[in-house]
Amino acid sequence: DAGVTQSPTHLIKTRGQQVTLRCSPKSGHDTVSWYQQALGQGPQFIFQYYEEEERQRGNFPDRFSGHQFPNYSSELNVNALLLGDSALYLCASSLVSGGEQVAFFGQGTRLTVV
Amino acid sequence: QQQVKQSPQSLIVQKGGISIINCAYENTAFDYFPWYQQFPGKGPALLIAIRPDVSEKKEGRFTISFNKSAKQFSLHIMDSQPGDSATYFCAASKGSSNTGKLIFGQGTTLQVKP
């Protein structure tokens, strides 16, 4: 059973550009969350998708947007990139199990903005 | 606003010793408290989690102690091994109604010396 897979693993972009990151959830998982992890910090929640809808959003600007497809895979889009957007972007998929959502993380996409 | 505070930032323990990492939370609506382990270049992996209706949960060498009145919880790693060297994150989320949004602490880098 493949876990959560993210692509690409590394990416270098220039300030002002746009980027799309992709995530395939763990088999059977219907909920996808995205997190931003700056160097030396804990992950910060960006947003979560369920049934192709954004269900909850963290404190991130509208430059950050996403999408979930019918097969539950998801994309994270960031427009007008800033140097401060450089971080590890993590995708987590989850499934309600025993009354709680257990989140499984992918290996992340390392985004560097120059 | 940092809703989950984690300490210490870094920790060095001798092989066979006990590693202790502490977290404190502010939001009394939190009712799910997981600990994640992250190795360099990897995404966080769930270690162990607890709900506030129990004061302690043990899985192998890992134990969570939970103090609801103090709004604190801690991770104890018994018989620490060099392979435990990683960054550890505590997290919190709201429970059964939850959307799975995790609020992470800042992380603790653990080094276990042989």
Residue B71: predicted pLDDT: 95
Q: Is B43–A106 a contact, with Cβ atoms under 8 angstroms apart?
A: yes
Q: In what order do the strands lie in the sheet with B19-25?
A: B4-7, B19-25, B72-77, B62-67, B56-59
| Yes or no, beta carbons of A42 and B100 under 8 Å apart | no
What pLDDT is stored for residue B101 in this prediction?
Answer: 87
Q: Give residue-wise pLDDT tens across range B26-83.
A: 999 898 899 999 999 899 999 999 988 899 999 999 999 999 999 999 999 999 999 9
Q: Per-residue confidence of chain A (114 residues) as pLDDT tens digits? A: 679 999 999 999 999 999 999 999 999 888 999 999 999 999 999 999 988 999 889 999 999 999 999 999 999 999 999 999 999 999 999 876 665 667 899 999 999 999
Q: Quick check: B32 and A33 CB within 8 A? A: no
Per-residue confidence (pLDDT) for residue A63, from 0 to 100: 98
Tell me the C-alpha distance between A25 and A41, whole Å.
24
Q: How far apart are CA A110 and CA A107, in angstroms?
A: 9
